Structure 1
Amino acid sequence: MKVLQRHKLALSIHVFTAALLAGVVAHPALAQGDRSGDDTTKLEAVEVTGSRIKKAELEGQTPVVTITARDIEATGLGSIGDVIQRLSVSGSSLNTKFNSAGNFGFPADGGGVGSGSTTISLRNVGAKRTLVLVDGLRWVGESSGSGVSAAVDLNTIPASAVERIEILTDGASSLYGSDAISGVINIITKRKQEGMSANVYYGDYSKDGGETTSGNLSLGGSTDRLDFFLDISHYEQKSISSADWAQSSFPTPGAGLAGGSSYIPYTRTIFLAPEGETYGGLCPGGVCNIAANGTTLGVQPFPGGFHRFGTPDRFNFAPYNLLLTPSTRDGLFGQARYKVTDNITWYLKGSYTTRKSKNQAAPEPIGLGSALNTSDLGLTTGVDVTNPYNPFGFTLDPNSNLLGLGRRPIEGGPRIFTQDVDTRYFATGLEGSFGTADRDFYWDVNYVNAVNKATQTVNGTYNIAHIARALGPVAGCTAPCVPLNIFGGPGSITPEMLNYISFIETDRSENALEVWSANISGDLFQLPAGSLAFAAGYEHREQDGYYLPDAIVVAGESNGVPSLPTTGQFDVNEYYLELNAPLLKDVAGAKSLDLSVASRYSDYSTFGGTTNNKVGLRWQPVDDLTLRGTWAEGFRAPSIGELYGSPARFDAQIQDPCNGATGQLATNCIAQGVPNPATFEQANQQISTRTGGNLLLTPETSTSITAGVVYSPSWAENTGWSSKLDLDLTFWKIEIDDAIQAPDAQTQLTRCVERNDANCAGIVRGVSGDIVSFSNILRNLGTIETQGYDIGLNWNSPEWGFGTLGASVQTTYVDKYSSINETGEAEPLSVGIETADKAINKWRTTASLSWASQDWSARWTARYLSGLTERCNPDLTEAGAVCSSPNADLSGGFNHLGATTFHDVRLNWKLPTSFNFTLSAGVNNIFGKDPPICVSCSLNGYDAGTYDLPGRYSYVQASVKF
């Protein structure tokens, strides 16, 4: 009945949306309204992000993009992070479509997994190189229970409290300090509101699940002295199973079970029999000690019926995963501003957001021996001859005859990762102004205290120490120990056995931030072309964080991904100065010519001092045309996780080049410990790599350049066909030196096998030839270079009989992206290439057309992503995996991810009531465009950081103001 009701509600949304759209067509003269134009309009405020001087203008030295609260609503999205990720200047980054929550382990970025978070990567250089501010002050980084991240989770900021978002797409370390390498996101919150407002929202995917509900209630007011705003919000997003979409229902699209896991619900064994023969495979039907009639046999005759493990035996883990992860967020935000005097204002601001999110993975496998181990203790764990379920009549000993034993106990159910994340933010300070000698000065002092604290619990994980005891000598397995039947098929592990080997893992982490700052700005003295303006300030910042895994994990007794505690802190004192000098004004060839310079000195407790400078030039030859350019130095200090992150593991999807190797490759493989490369096949498609922080890391440094032109022709202003037209073009270039990252593991292994050189350092193979240790820790790897162009167009029509129209196009063209390591070799990520669930599209474009008339308004938006190319896995190509350009011998090839366009529509109707009551409806991806198939992506057969979920998303919304 609940399912039926849910589908009825979903159908009602689709019908209601269609009816509203039909109403617009039938009654075009009834509309009004939403004249917000495109999703990214240029800011026209007096003060903008990118300058501390309060005289900054729209066409300043730096490119700034703004998104208003109305623009956010028009997207139909409930997270400001999701909204920003759709901008052309954003690249692949974490969001709630990612289902990774520790089942792969800890990636080599020092920050943990960040489950349930949404982060932003401007210019494709990573979220940790994008600075996030709220009202000009730093926001606290996220933790999500799995590490100490260097990035900010935008889901910790309630969307209903946002007035606008200003995005500076230029380096700004000279003004804001560390992390502002690719740009700055400054979220401006609502300071006041007259009366009360309420908003309710419901959305639904055409796939089964993913229903989203949200609502907020806000209250505000003003007096001569006091402005205040209070907002309470709730957001809930339900999950979508990977089994509900054909493309994600198998591990690799088109490959069937070939892309499945080697850890299966039956027992897989690789061992040396007493006669000296090597056996590797399964008993008949995968069951070693249960007869065909279901009766239990103490020992089945051996080696009768064993067969070699093959593709039909593999396990399809995909249906256990999620296309969309569930998340619930509740938020309370408030701020007040009180005029102490006519020239001094005291402000107080607080925010509290709590999130509960979940991720899910297939049942956790148990692996023993060097070929199939899933834990360090698993390397030394075997099966004693006295174990009552041992079918062989002899001990399986990893020190002599056991190479590998694997079993996925589906009796224990899937792994469920639950995150409880609380974010508390408090800020207070004084702002004021004063005048002297006919000049005005503005000042402020601020204090920030913020904490992001998270707990992650994992259900469905096992204690390998208990497993070892339950498989060891039966005399040593006394209560509460229960001997484990690891050899039977599904159902052979009883509830009593599960209770003994299972435990609920609880991991905790925290990121904390404390800031004291003071700023002053104003005019120093008069120059021939105007006044020399300045801004100066001081900031003291303390950051600390920790990650504390479960005690069983720390003891090394967890069957899951191992990790150790992380803790660390640093503090910094910073001083900056910014000057803006008008050089020319109202002379031939120069309506205005302004020069700006800025410098910031930062003194870190971890590595010492650094100075970063910036120069900008703005030239307006005539009223209609503005040319601008900047040159800026930047830096990013190593984060707590990057410096102090303890050793952990990441199970990467890596293809071992020694699989069936011949010729020189085979010779190299033998030298590296592979007994017989011609017949070698890696036991598991996931190869465990060792990740962690590095105390020897030094800060990243960067140089960024922008050069642009803004053209606002007077001949297109207030005419019969146009009220305003703006065109802009910006060239940008960023070069990062000593970039903190780990080498791409697949590339490193491939180079190691091909060359048998220094790339092999840290790669160790076991007796079976499988890799048992792979060091992939962070280092100052080399240089990242990227450059491209931003192109923008905004047009608004005059008032016509049927209403007004608005049109916009925002395009980013990435001309170059390269990452060169310290030996001069290129890492694989580049423009137009899909690599490790990350892509850089050469073209990203958002085009919008809006219409408004009286009480109605509508908007259509198209989002274009250019095509990509990825490498095909040779093993899976032979199995029929999707590969648009395979090699003739099916030894790999390339797959093309075609260009993709998503279309969104939205309609607003302001009802004829005595109060402000608006109904809205929309459909995102109205044509149901599926994302292109990705065969190299780790989950769900598509790149969740680049593309939308499959299917339409329809929503309705009601807003009322009293």
Structure 2
Amino acid sequence: MLNETVLARSVRLICAGSIVLTMHSAFAQTQEENVTRVQVTGSRLTSPNAVSPSPLQILTSADIAASGATNLQELLLKNPTLGTPTISRTNSNFQTASVGVATVDLRNLGTSRTLVLVNGRRFVSGIPGESAVDMNTIPTDFIERVELLTGGASAAYGSDAVAGVVNIILKRNFNGVLVDASLGQSDHHDDSKKKLAITFGTSSADGASNVMGHFGYSKQGAVYSRDRNGTDVDNQSKAAITGKAADIFTPISPFYSSISPQGRFFHDTGDFTYDKAGNVIPWSTNGTAALAATGFNRNAFRTIAVPTERFLFATNGTHAFDENHSAFFEGTYSSTKVTSRIEPFALQAGDIFPDTGQVPAGTLVNGVVVRNPLVPQYLYDRITDNDGDGIPDYSFTRRLSEVGTRGSTAERDTFRLATGLKGTIMDWNYEAFVSYGKTKEAQNSSGQVNVQNFRNALLGTPDGAGGVQCSDAIARQQGCVPINIFGYNTISPEALKYVTAPGSLITSTTQKIAGGNLSGELFQLPAGKVGLSGGFEWRQEESSSIPDPLTQAGLNAGNATPPTYGKFNVKEAYLETLVPLLKDKFLAKQLDFRAAYRVGDYSTVGHTNSWNMGLEWAPTSDVKFRATRSISTRAPNINELYSPPSQDFPSGLTDPCLGVTAGTPGATADACRANPYVLANIQANGTFKQSQSDLQGISGYNRGNPDLKAEQGRSTTVGVVLTPRSIPMLSKFTFTADYFDIKISDAIVSTPRQYALSQCYGGGNPAFCSFITRRAATSGDNNVGALTYIDSAVSNSGGLATEGVDLTASWVDMVGPGRLSAKIQYTYVKEGYVIPLKDADKSKEKRDLFAGEIGAAKNKANLNLAYKWGTFGISSTTTFIGSSALDDQYLAQFKLPADSIKVGSRTYQDFQLTFDVKKQVQLYLGIDNAFDTSAPMILSGVTGNSTGTNTNAGTYDPIGRRYYVGVRVTM
């Protein structure tokens, strides 16, 4: 924890200026004369000399208030050290689980390598099988400050702190009542926002006890693709069809789905569909000069931002038994409801009859074929037996609009309670605590069908009374109703009831922790006392994810998702020391050495070690240099270890073989032609081609690996802190510059699918071909050789690394009649890459780069300005995301080097105005994305696209200008 006296002084400054955009450097915190024992993020020590061992950035409660953020993730993502989150409101609509969860990712190294703490202690995960905390569960109005430690900290906190730590410090010792209420919406009258937060606290008459509570409610409305220009109609990058780089940013619009509600039916010599009057017409997916489009606009049903509703309760309290010993508790409960929505299910004959992809058009009765009366005569006259059973058969695709839109409603509950004792014994500080956390999710999904029932319903025979019955007698006894799939709205309510299969998913994540810490000072050296801290921690994590039986078996025509269960426990012990070497000497105002060591014993991966060493040197009171070297360990999480193969439908993938002919030169073309199915496609078409349904139907399986071992990160940071207090004009100015270099050996990663494609075809690594399956035979309108499955497996990779520089500056002073506050943060990422497989070639040519790509811009910055004049205040936040390249593996298929094709930079401007009606009442008005900056166009078919948004919706703002108005009342 930061020095309470200094913090109180900062808070008073914040109140005076409405928003003080400070970024206290650890060095600056020690310059106050009345500093007592403090503890900061990144260290367990409590001593007068305790400072941040690594670069530390701080967001105050005033920063949160000035942002108008409903969710802490919204504010954190503006910080340039944070990368694109794995999951947020705007990129999770197509998630099969954890829709709407809000995660954070330091340095673009993955959410599992960012440790989120609450009051310095671990918080239960919001995603089953992982360690990522859901920011929806943290009440923003109950936060005192957030400390971002951007460096390895496993020695201090254990596993998962490879990229750094986000430590959320909640308010404490609050007395009174604070009410904050606001309303908002976007320029398009969607993305509605409602928030009500009530914080209250009271202390006993003798000051020995304090209890606080917080109630919060928020509701954020949906944003639909159909309500935004550019996403209202299905489109596709032309490059996915032509294979030409010049066509990457050229949209084909409309690019409707070839699976439509009226159905498309394939016979021996062609195909057809129906108009709304029930007439047979030619099929034309996107239309021609002579034919209307008969395809389906999926974007009319998709969601850019999922609606989210939250109820929050938080409480904490302390009771002092005497001046040296006290008890404390922390409690949190959150209930979140999130709804996803996508287009109706696209059913194909192969989903129902996977062996042949053909539907029998009749039934053999006494050796004679009896036509299913629901099969139109027009179709029956044009089909023959294609699979050798003696019955004419056909193939079809059909959008199940009668079943309704697909989607899910997830109700997520998180409960956490921590309690313990702390105090002082003979000048040594102690703390012992236990905590229990649990996250439960109940998800109900719609829009799927029971494959077995649908099969029974497709096979019909005359019932002898002029009607139709299901052919199978047992199915009839079980309620089978024949289904008519030929034309618009032809499925009867009775048949619909028989084939519909609602889905469910029940998940549970449990965390149990017990720990203790003892810290103090050992003995006196000429430069000061030697600090020492030591402690232990026992932790158990358990997780389960159980879909309904049909989903587990893949019998609902959707993703086959097996259940996942796993648990592990770990016992850890740690030591940390701070040794003052010099003090008040020539060119050595201060010179300190620090070190920490942690040993762990995991039930899964066994013994682990983490350590760090650091040196802090202040030649004068105004300048300080700091350097740390850390070894951080991360053990695999439950999903990485135990997740069984689960089906996925990835987007933004491009086949490197597209456009290859018999004479195309080069390693990629040679590797493509070496595949017999690709070669057969080339021989049949003259060039390798894919149909539209091929492009839109690639699937694959994700799987864990029980043989994983722990990964190890080596982190180096070197920095300087300037606090020129001796110069009057700059006495309130702070500047920091920090170089970071993080290299992770044996990094646990999932094989990137586009990387597997590029390495298999021309990349010189045929081992990646084992992840790829191509279609062996033509089915319907799909071409032989088309990509059907691209799998991804978790493994200990050849490495993961990033390197760059952080610069920050802050200044607060009186300017004219008011107070001006300024803070700027800038991050430059020099390098960032992953080597997906352990025994892959580690040369630069084989690295999968991410630094400078979309979602991981090399240049990011954030500027905060605020001016307070009497009862009026204005603040602004400027967020800059530098130009970013398309994925290097995507560009490789066009024979283009990394960084050769980019999207432009984006700058977002937010404003907030405040007016103090009186001392206890403040009105505020905010505008986010004030200049309505549009997101860069990243089309479907291009890596980095978030389905339904035409951009990377986790990185850029896909919503546009938004307004909010609110009131804060203190009592």
- TM-score interval (norm. to shorter): 0.7 to 0.9
Q: Structure 1: how far apart are the matches of 2:519 and 2:179?
A: 39
Pairing 1:796–2:812 present: yes
Deviation at 1:52, TM superposition (A): 0.3
Structure 2 counterpart SS, 1:38: coil
Aligned equivalent of 2:199, options 197, 211, 218: 218
More displaced stretch, 755-764 vs 743-752: 755-764
Q: 1:743 corresponds to which letter in structure 2?
A: T
Q: 2:186 corresponds to which letter in structure 1?
A: Y
Aligned to 2:161: 180
Instruction: Report the TM-score when normalising by structure 2.
Output: 0.85
Alignment of 1:304-453 (within 5 A): 312-369=293-350, 373=351, 382-385=359-362, 386-391=371-376, 392-393=379-380, 405-435=396-426, 440-453=427-440
Aligned to 2:724: 713
Q: Structure 2: how far apart are the matches of 1:307 and 1:941?
A: 24
Q: 2:883 corresponds to which letter in structure 1?
A: G
Structure 1 counterpart SS, 2:502: strand
Q: Structure 1: how far apart are the matches of 2:302 and 2:191?
A: 14
Q: CA deviation digits over 1:291-313, x for unaligned, max 9?
A: x9647xxxx8xxx9677998954
Q: CA deviation digits over 1:396-439, x for unaligned, max 9?
A: 7678997963211222221121110000001100001122xxxx
Pairing 1:136–2:120 present: yes
Instruction: Report the TM-score when normalising by structure 1.
Output: 0.86
Alignment of 1:567-582 (within 5 A): 567-582=565-580
Q: Structure 1: how far apart are the matches of 2:751 and 2:394?
A: 29
Contact 2:360–2:393 (Cα < 8 Å) also in 1: no
Deviation at 1:252, TM superposition (A): 3.6
Alignment of 1:268-667 (within 5 A): 268-269=264-265, 273=268, 279=269, 282-283=271-272, 286-287=273-274, 294=278, 312-369=293-350, 373=351, 382-385=359-362, 386-391=371-376, 392-393=379-380, 405-435=396-426, 440-472=427-459, 474-476=470-472, 477-478=475-476, 480-486=479-485, 488-653=486-651, 654-663=653-662, 665=669
Deviation at 1:57, TM superposition (A): 5.7
Aligned to 1:90: 82
Q: Structure 2: how far apart are the matches of 1:395 and 1:684?
A: 25
Q: CA deviation digits over 1:814-852, x for unaligned, max 9?
A: 111111233126454422223xxxx21111111122111
1:207–1:826 distance in 2 versus 1, CA, 3 Å: farther
Aligned to 1:808: 823
Aligned to 2:932: 928
Count of residues in correspondence between the two structures: 873
Q: CA deviation digits over 1:170-195, x for unaligned, max 9?
A: 10011101000000011111122111
Alignment of 1:781-930 (within 5 A): 781-798=797-814, 800-821=815-836, 822=838, 823-824=840-841, 826=846, 828-834=848-854, 839-870=855-886, 896-912=902-918, 916-930=920-934
1:629–1:925 distance in 2 versus 1, CA, 3 Å: same
Contact 1:150–1:641 (Cα < 8 Å) also in 2: no
Identity, in percent, stands at 29
Contact 2:657–2:688 (Cα < 8 Å) also in 1: no
Q: Structure 2: how far apart are the matches of 1:34 and 1:133?
A: 29
Q: CA deviation digits over 1:72-115, x for unaligned, max 9?
A: 011111111211111111000145433534x465xxxxxxx421
Q: Structure 2: how far apart are the matches of 1:250 and 1:745?
A: 27
Aligned to 2:952: 943
Q: Structure 1: how far apart are the matches of 2:556 and 2:823?
A: 54
Aligned to 2:796: 780
1:218–1:378 distance in 2 versus 1, CA, 3 Å: farther
Aligned to 1:880: none
Deviation at 1:696, TM superposition (A): 1.3
Contact 1:660–1:681 (Cα < 8 Å) also in 2: no
Deviation at 1:782, TM superposition (A): 1.9
Q: 1:807 corresponds to which letter in structure 2?
A: A
Q: Structure 1: how far apart are the matches of 2:188 and 2:354?
A: 42
Alignment of 1:7-18 (within 5 A): none
1:572–1:866 distance in 2 versus 1, CA, 3 Å: same
Q: Give the alignment's Cα RMSD to 1 decimal.
A: 3.0
Aligned equivalent of 1:234, options 217, 240, 244: 217
Aligned equivalent of 1:703, options 714, 723, 731: 714
Q: 1:897 corresponds to which letter in structure 2?
A: V
1:861–1:774 distance in 2 versus 1, CA, 3 Å: closer
Q: Which runs of 5+ in 1 are unaligned?
A: 1-30, 106-112, 274-278, 875-882
Q: Structure 2: how far apart are the matches of 1:396 and 1:317?
A: 34
Q: 2:681 corresponds to which letter in structure 1?
A: N
Deviation at 1:623, TM superposition (A): 0.5
Q: Structure 1: how far apart are the matches of 2:435 and 2:388?
A: 57
Q: Structure 2: how far apart are the matches of 1:916 and 1:92?
A: 38
Q: Structure 2: how far apart are the matches of 1:785 and 1:703?
A: 9
Q: 2:853 corresponds to which letter in structure 1?
A: I
Q: 2:799 corresponds to which letter in structure 1?
A: T
Aligned equivalent of 1:121, options 105, 108, 113: 105
1:341–1:667 distance in 2 versus 1, CA, 3 Å: closer
Pairing 1:680–2:663 present: no
Deviation at 1:244, TM superposition (A): 1.1
Contact 1:104–1:652 (Cα < 8 Å) also in 2: no
Q: Structure 1: how far apart are the matches of 2:62 and 2:440?
A: 31
Structure 1 counterpart SS, 2:562: coil
Deviation at 1:149, TM superposition (A): 2.8
Give the structure, 1 or 2, with the largest relative contact order (CA under 8 Å, sep 6 or more). 1
Q: Structure 1: how far apart are the matches of 2:579 and 2:493?
A: 76
Q: 1:676 corresponds to which letter in structure 2?
A: N
Q: Structure 2: how far apart are the matches of 1:250 and 1:873?
A: 28
Alignment of 1:162-201 (within 5 A): 162-201=143-182
Deviation at 1:573, TM superposition (A): 0.1
Aligned to 1:17: none
Contact 2:357–2:395 (Cα < 8 Å) also in 1: no
Q: 2:108 corresponds to which letter in structure 1?
A: N
Aligned equivalent of 2:54, options 58, 62, 72: 62
Q: 2:932 corresponds to which letter in structure 1?
A: G
1:469–1:310 distance in 2 versus 1, CA, 3 Å: farther
Q: Structure 2: how far apart are the matches of 1:125 and 1:552?
A: 36
Q: 2:749 corresponds to which letter in structure 1?
A: Q
Structure 1 counterpart SS, 2:754: helix
Aligned to 1:743: 751
Q: Structure 1: how far apart are the matches of 2:637 and 2:872?
A: 49
Q: CA deviation digits over 1:638-665, x for unaligned, max 9?
A: 1111111121011112222344421363
Q: CA deviation digits over 1:683-722, x for unaligned, max 9?
A: 32231111121111111111001000001113544x4xx5
1:672–1:451 distance in 2 versus 1, CA, 3 Å: farther
Pairing 1:731–2:739 present: yes
1:599–1:647 distance in 2 versus 1, CA, 3 Å: same
Q: Which runs of 5+ in 2 are unaligned?
A: 1-13, 31-37, 237-249, 363-370, 461-469, 779-783
Contact 1:174–1:614 (Cα < 8 Å) also in 2: yes
Deviation at 1:783, TM superposition (A): 0.7
Q: Structure 1: how far apart are the matches of 2:89 and 2:79?
A: 17
Contact 1:523–1:531 (Cα < 8 Å) also in 2: yes
Q: 1:365 corresponds to which letter in structure 2?
A: A
Pairing 1:690–2:688 present: no
Deviation at 1:59, TM superposition (A): 5.6
Q: Structure 2: how far apart are the matches of 1:667 and 1:65?
A: 50
Q: Structure 2: how far apart are the matches of 1:174 and 1:157?
A: 26
